[in-house]
Amino acid sequence: MKLKSDMKQQEPFLQSRKLRIRTILFPILFMGLHWLVMNIAALLYLAVFTVVTMSGHDISLFSFFEDQEFLSQILIEQYPIIAVLYSLVLIPVYLVFLSLSRQRDPRVLLNASLRSQHIWPAIAMMIGAMGLTNLWFALLTYLGDQFEYVNEQLQNYIEQASAFTPSAGYIWLILGIVIFAPIAEELLFRGIIQGELRKAMPEWLAIIIQAVIFALFHMQPVQITYVIVPGLLLGVAYAWSRTIWVPIVMHITFNFLGSVIPSVVGEDEVLSSIVIYSQLAFIFIGILAAVYFYMNRRPAKLVSVSPENG
């Protein structure tokens, strides 16, 4: 009888899944918070930037805000700085929530020790994902010549992608786009959202749902289509490594490849070809790395989850 009781107390958390209000409510609330803080940071920065720009000029503040095209351009060019600002607000909030939640339920945040046999395959997978992204954009470019809607969305994306260039300086590009934004997004999508879903459904389903949410959250149609694959890989790597640090490093790698590298290469055709073909080669390497990662994945531990907390 005692043995049966002990086994019941230490049953795998896979057997204590249950859909609750928080499974849906918390992801929605924190995505809303993320969106709100992003926009408040943008508005505040825009207001300060406008006042500084107006200094010494006989121009009213309202005239600046009436020029929507000018404001849009400023937001795009200064986005890396804005990303640093909103991330510095959101990261502590996410960490506090995850820390408090994990005290009640270890499934909320996976923070096992980082292993080299996980991090290197994960990076290879992400470089391969960039290779797939290049192929996808080649296809979209071809389709853009055939369909006006696809071309319009591509042009819209290219305009928004100006936020990933060093218009505000390389330091801000690296801090905002490469480091802080990925950390904030990983804590939200893999940490909070996948963590909540994990408690209500099989891990594979949680990975798929969080990846779809992650892609849709970007809102821009072209970005949605190519973000879905990295979103899946980030979720898979998080589940296999059992540590949030692996998807954080992967996300940083992906953003670095998509922002800093193109900016450094510029219009140099030789360097551009080397980068693109290297990333394409990593599609195959990434597949092999994923197999290795899976074979060396960290198994889920048995945890004791009380009825009131589970």
More confident residue, 67 or 8: 67
> Please, which contacts does 198-204 make with residues 24 or more away whose CB atoms are closer than 8 Å?
198/107, 199/13, 199/17, 199/18, 199/20, 199/23, 199/105, 199/107, 199/108, 199/310, 200/17, 200/18, 200/19, 200/20, 200/23, 201/17, 201/19, 202/14, 202/17, 203/239, 203/300
Model confidence, pTM: 0.88
Among 20-29, 122-131, 299-308, top mean pLDDT goes to 122-131
More confident residue, 110 or 179: 179
Q: Quote the pLDDT of residue 74.
A: 80
Q: Quote the pLDDT of residue 64.
A: 55
Q: How would residue 56 be classed by pLDDT, with cut points 50, 70 and 90?
A: low
More confident residue, 302 or 250: 250
On the question of pLDDT at 9 being above 50, the answer is: no
Q: Quote the pLDDT of residue 14.
A: 45
Range in 63-67, 100-104, 179-183 with the lowest mean pLDDT: 63-67
197-215 pLDDT, tens digit per residue, is: 999 999 999 999 999 999 9
67-114 pLDDT, tens digit per residue, is: 567 677 788 889 999 999 999 999 999 999 999 998 888 888 888 888
217-229 pLDDT, tens digit per residue, is: 998 899 999 999 9
